[in-house]
């Protein structure tokens, strides 16, 4: 028994590593049995990341490993190696693009330490950093392929991926999926990130020209499989060429460390509402698309103490994925007149305050009043602006 990992076969203009693996599995020798399938999302800031930023792996068992290696050599040379060198530029995608550089690895006995997985999901990893496989093929994709094999599965979810019919036009970005059944699936307790309840838009279908029709995410294998099949069986859903369920690290928070606390020193609100918070020990960013995170960040004042977590970017800022206020500084206000219940006003510089109605004076110039934040518990970005790796706060963050 061993593990086969694969990555870097897709680009903006097409391709899909999950489909590449599906085709490989479908053409394995009959004496090879297929076990668990993995889909592992990697560090979102990786310079040479693929479109979906995901690598795949599959557990294979055979008594004739040498024959399997011969088959994989042939399959690599005929089907996967030709996928190298493809690149698509886009005016709507501002990251630097790299040509596809597929990689495949085989570990028959010694599985790499899970520390390598955490390296690949939390920082930039180079080819020189990867542990030696029993056999490997190709180039840069070996990084993600090895990480998928090394994954420790501390927090798991599942995704049932269905691919479009081979007769379909992958260049057609609009996918036909039964919207009523999708709404039913979204209401199920074991599924997540299926549909944006604010807009009604689907979150299960990619927008680009690739073979994937949809991917239904769930907390159990059975729910992912059942929900996907429910969509597939509808006449309102377009034909598929196949479907498989992957165990994934999505919604795991594996890309994050422990929550951090800090005090706000400076707040800068940019165009469209993006907020830069300069704190005592960190510089953190709430992007315009981050919803409640942005709104809470805009409300903050100098001296507020916050707790937060987010992705450490290459420019050493933290891109917020969740935030809460733990100790807001009070608001300095004039005291209230106990008789008239109106706020007193200043009589001039360095003078007392007095009630504008009864004219009674007070030597107390200022009082501290608590500020009420717009959100008192943890907040995170809306579903359509959330990373695949982000764990919903209601799952495991104390309120």
pLDDT tens track for 360-381: 888 888 888 899 999 999 999 9
Burial (0-12, 13-18, 19+ Cβ within 10 Å), 245: buried
Mind listing the pLDDT tens digit for each residue in 115-169? 999 999 999 999 999 999 999 999 999 999 999 999 989 899 999 999 998 655 5
Domain count, the chain: 2
| Distance (Å, whole) CA 55 – CA 204 | 18
Of the candidates 206, 229, 208, 233, the one whose C-alpha atom is nearest the C-alpha of residue 218 is 229
Question: Looking at residues 191-218, what average pLDDT do you find?
Answer: 89
| Together in a domain, 165 and 285 | no
Q: Is 357 among the domain residues?
A: no
Whether the per-residue pLDDT at 170 is higher than 60: the answer is no
Alpha helices in the chain (DSSP H): 17-26, 65-75, 114-122, 142-150, 179-186, 221-232, 292-299, 393-396
Judge whether residue 171 has pLDDT over 60: no
Q: Assess if residue 98 is contained within a domain.
A: yes
Q: For residue 133, what is the domain's CATH number?
A: 3.30.70.2200
Structure tokens at 164: 């479009």
Residues 240 and 206 in one domain: yes
Domain finish residue from 196, 221, 248: 248
In a domain, residue 59? The reply is yes
Condensed to tens digits (0 to 9), the pLDDT of residues 6-36 reads 998 876 556 789 999 999 999 999 999 999 9
Which residue in 218, 244, 226, 223 sits closest to 158, CA to CA?
218
pLDDT 10s digits, 250-281: 999 999 999 999 999 999 999 889 999 999 99
Indicate whether 275 and 210 sit together in one domain. no
Alpha-carbon span 278 to 300, nearest angstrom: 11
Indicate the residue among 221, 248, 275 that finishes a domain.
248
Q: What is the CATH number of the domain that holds 316?
A: 2.40.50.1010
**Domain range enclosing 135:** 2-248
Residues 74 and 223 in one domain: yes
Q: Does residue 358 lie within any of the structural domains?
A: no
Residue range 59-111, pLDDT digits in tens? 999 999 999 999 999 999 999 999 988 866 655 555 666 788 999 999 998 78
CA nearest neighbour of 277 among 314, 253, 306, 311: 306
> Does 237 reside within a domain?
yes
- Its pTM surpasses 0.85: yes
| Alpha-carbon span 335 to 332, nearest angstrom | 9
- Statement to judge: residues 89 and 16 lie in one domain: yes
- Same domain for 180 and 307, yes or no, is no
Domain end call among 248, 283, 307: 248
Residues 184 and 320 in one domain: no
Q: Are residues 228 and 283 in the same domain?
A: no
How many Å apart are CA 101 and CA 86, to the nearest integer? 8
290 lies in a domain?
Answer: yes
> Are 223 and 294 contained in the same domain?
no
In the predicted structure, residue 44 carries a pLDDT above the cut 70: yes
Higher pLDDT, 7 or 338: 7
Q: For residue 15, give both structure tokens.
A: 């391709």
Looking at the structure, tell me whether residues 302 and 375 fall in a common domain. Answer: yes
Structure tokens belonging to residue 174: 């609009």
Instruction: Say yes or no: 170 and 308 in one domain.
Output: no
CA distance 163 to 26: 14
């Amino acid at each position: 028994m061993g593990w086969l990992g694969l990555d870097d076969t897709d680009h903006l203009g097409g391709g899909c590593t999950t489909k590449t693996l599906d085709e490989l599995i479908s053409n394995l020798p009959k004496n090879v049995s297929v076990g668990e399938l993995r889909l592992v999302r990697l560090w979102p800031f990786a310079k040479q990341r693929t479109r979906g930023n995901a690598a795949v792996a599959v557990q294979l068992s055979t008594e004739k490993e040498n024959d399997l290696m011969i088959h994989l050599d042939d399959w690599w040379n005929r089907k996967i190696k030709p996928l190298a060198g493809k690149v698509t530029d886009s005016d709507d995608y501002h990251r630097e693009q790299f040509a596809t550089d597929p990689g495949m690895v085989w570990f028959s006995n010694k599985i790499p330490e899970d520390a390598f997985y955490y390296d690949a999901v939390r920082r930039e990893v180079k080819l020189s950093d990867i542990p030696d496989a029993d056999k490997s093929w190709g180039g840069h994709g070996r990084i993600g392929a090895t990480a998928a094999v090394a994954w420790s599965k501390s927090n798991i979810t599942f995704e049932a991926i269905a691919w479009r019919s081979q007769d379909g036009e992958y260049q057609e970005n609009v996918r036909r999926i039964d919207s009523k059944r999708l709404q039913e699936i979204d209401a199920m307790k074991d599924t997540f990130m299926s549909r944006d309840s604010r807009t009604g838009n689907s979150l299960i279908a990619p927008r680009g020209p690739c073979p994937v029709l949809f991917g239904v995410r769930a907390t159990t294998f059975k729910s992912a499989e059942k929900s996907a099949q429910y969509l597939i069986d509808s006449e309102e859903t377009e034909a598929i060429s196949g479907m498989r369920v992957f165990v994934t690290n999505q919604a795991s928070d594996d890309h994050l460390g422990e929550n951090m606390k800090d005090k706000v020193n400076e707040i800068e609100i940019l165009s469209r509402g993006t907020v830069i918070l300069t704190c005592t020990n960190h510089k953190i960013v709430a992007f315009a698309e981050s919803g409640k995170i942005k709104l809470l960040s805009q409300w903050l004042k100098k001296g507020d103490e916050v707790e937060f977590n987010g992705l450490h970017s290459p420019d050493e800022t933290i891109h917020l994925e969740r935030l809460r206020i733990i100790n807001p500084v009070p608001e300095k206000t004039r005291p209230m007149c106990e008789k008239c219940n109106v706020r007193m006003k200043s009589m001039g510089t360095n003078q007392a305050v007095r009630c504008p109605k009864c004219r009674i004076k007070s030597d107390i110039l200022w009082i501290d009043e608590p500020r009420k934040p717009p959100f008192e518990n943890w907040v995170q970005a809306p579903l359509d602006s959330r990373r695949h790796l982000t764990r919903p706060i209601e799952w495991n963050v104390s309120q």
